[in-house]
Amino acid sequence: MSAFVTLVKRDLSLAFRQGFDSLMVVAFFVIAVVLFPLGVGPEPNTLARIAAGTIWVAALLSSMLSLERLFQIDYEDGSLELLALSPVALEVTVIAKVVAHWLTTGLPLILTAPLLAVLMQLPNDGFLTLILALALGTPTLSLIGAVGAALILGSRRGGVLLSLLILPLYIPVLIFGVSAVDAAIGDMTVRPHLLILSGLFVGALALTPWASAAALRQSLE
Amino acid sequence: MSFLADRVRSRLSFGEALENDHMSQLHGQDLICVRGERTVFRALDFTLEAGGALILIGPNGAGKSSLLRMMAGLLKPYAGRLIWNDEDALDDMDEHGARLHYVGHHDAVKPVLSAAENIRFWAELRGGGDDGIAQALATLDIRHLYDVPGRFLSAGQKRRVNLARIIAAPAPLWLLDEPTTALDKATIKRLEGAIGAHRDGGGMVVLSTHADVDTPGAKTLDLAKFACSDPLDEEMMV
């Protein structure tokens, strides 16, 4: 446990000291969402109709923005091979890095989302569900993204490759994230959608660390 | 998660392990290394006893770094076995990682963390404490760099921070790939002292070098002897 905390603390302090990463992710999120009212016009009904989808798509894209660097810097400066050789299982190291990544990118997104929901005229009934759905969905995004981030190590133009690898895998989270908010607005039951999002999270937590660790070992050969 | 901490802790009691087990031994058996399509070395055997040192020599591309990475478990042997105390060393990678320190070409020094924070992170990951860190800073004479962020360190100073990491938390096997790169003469002497102390405590060292590192009683392994000039031939595939 202490090693896990050490790893998370190290990544957090690195993120706070060198990074505008969190800030950039939030800024991208805000700008991407703001483009929609400008594009489709300020008609409140139209905006309310697309609010949940827009916010989720923007969240997907901005969470991906920072993923490229998840392992890249450690890979380049040799830290990654030392992490792989530490007594801590590489799978645990991956989870620690994902936790730190979520705290610095996913959490700020969740905190910003209600403001953007106001901007997008999201009906009041949908707010709580939007936050819940994002809280359940964004960790899954970070976990799945870590697999992609590990696979692209050592390749040129990794960022584009990453989006091609990862975006298709994000689709289930997007579908159920949006449908949860739509259900809340339409006065239908929200629970099944949130349960499926939880299921996706638990599944990703169980499976992706192994995949990421395997990809990392491969990249170090 | 606490079981994990226990596992880590149990592996870190290297001092005790040495007392119970004077016979630590690393043994390479018929190792073959293939990079791309090219066989780098083949039929390579070596044995390293507790307290021993092995110096890898050979021209560029002879496979010194590859052999060290193989010993660390970063590179899988194409064929052959790596044996630690009669067991396959690479069966449990976490356990193997706990018993070795690897110093590669990169120094893994984070530019935004101070020298001490860099060392502390790696030490804490292996259960090292303040005493070990203080000793490491003293051994490599970098106490004055304690608060200096990594981005202001010179190449030699970064290398010293990287070497301090391996002194700060003990592990029986040191794998050093060109450890003297960028070091001044005085620091090389300090490194030789540290290697000596490590071996006196029953530790083992494998190092590759082009410069002279004074390691009394060390065995030398010339990788040029195991080179394979032909492209991967049929015999070897069998």
Tens-level pLDDT at each residue, chain A (221 residues): 689 999 999 999 999 887 677 889 999 999 999 999 999 988 999 999 999 999 999 999 998 888 988 999 999 999 999 999 999 999 999 999 999 999 999 999 999 999 999 999 999 999 999 999 999 999 999 999 999 999 999 888 888 899 999 999 999 999 999 999 999 999 899 999 999 999 999 999 999 999 999 999 999 98
- Print the domain residue range for A129: 2-220
Q: Do A183 and A190 touch, CB atoms closer than 8 A?
A: yes
Interface predicted TM-score (ipTM) of this complex, two decimals: 0.87
Per CB-CB distance under 8 Å, the chain B contacts of A2 are 5, 124
**What is the C-alpha to C-alpha distance for residues A145 and A61, in angstroms, rounded to an integer?**
11
Identify the band that residue B23 occupies on the pLDDT scale cut at 50, 70 and 90.
Answer: low
- pLDDT for A119 equals 92
Chain B: residue nearest A221 by CA?
A: B75
Q: Do B223 and B57 touch, CB atoms closer than 8 A?
A: yes
Closest by Cβ to A17, choosing from B76, B108, B112: B112
**What is the C-alpha to C-alpha distance for residues B51 and B201, in angstroms, rounded to an integer?**
7
Q: How far is CA B158 from CA A86, B106, B109, B110, B163, in A?
A: 20, 9, 7, 10, 9
CB contact under 8 A, A17 and B113: yes
CB contact under 8 A, A14 and B11: no
- pLDDT for A69 equals 87
Average pLDDT over residues B174-187: 92
CB contact under 8 A, A6 and B4: no
Closest by Cβ to B125, choosing from A18, A88, A220: A88
When scoring B34, B92, B124 by the number of chain A Cβ atoms within 10 A, the one with the most, hence best to mutate, is B124
Number of domains chain A contains: 1
CB contact under 8 A, B1 and A1: yes
CB contact under 8 A, B124 and A82: no
Chain A: residue nearest B6 by CA?
A: A1
- pLDDT for A128 equals 95
Closest by Cβ to B121, choosing from A10, A77, A92: A10
Beta-strand pair B79-84/B87-88: antiparallel
Per CB-CB distance under 8 Å, the chain A contacts of B2 are 1
Gap from B182 CA to chain A (nearest CA, Å): 17
Closest by Cβ to A86, choosing from B104, B105, B126: B126
- Predicted TM-score (pTM) of the model is 0.88
- pLDDT for B233 equals 52
Indicate the DSSP class of residue B58: -
**What is the C-alpha to C-alpha distance for residues B171 and B12, in angstroms, rounded to an integer?**
8
**What is the C-alpha to C-alpha distance for residues B66 and B78, in angstroms, rounded to an integer?**
12
Gap from A193 CA to chain B (nearest CA, Å): 30
Whether residue B4 is predicted with pLDDT greater than 60 in this model: the reply is: no
Per CB-CB distance under 8 Å, the chain B contacts of A86 are 97-98, 122, 125-126
Q: At A188, list the tokens.
A: 């239908």
Identify the band that residue B11 occupies on the pLDDT scale cut at 50, 70 and 90.
Answer: very low
Whether residue B125 is predicted with pLDDT greater than 80 in this model: the reply is: yes
Whether residue B82 is predicted with pLDDT greater than 60 in this model: the reply is: yes
Indicate the DSSP class of residue B114: B
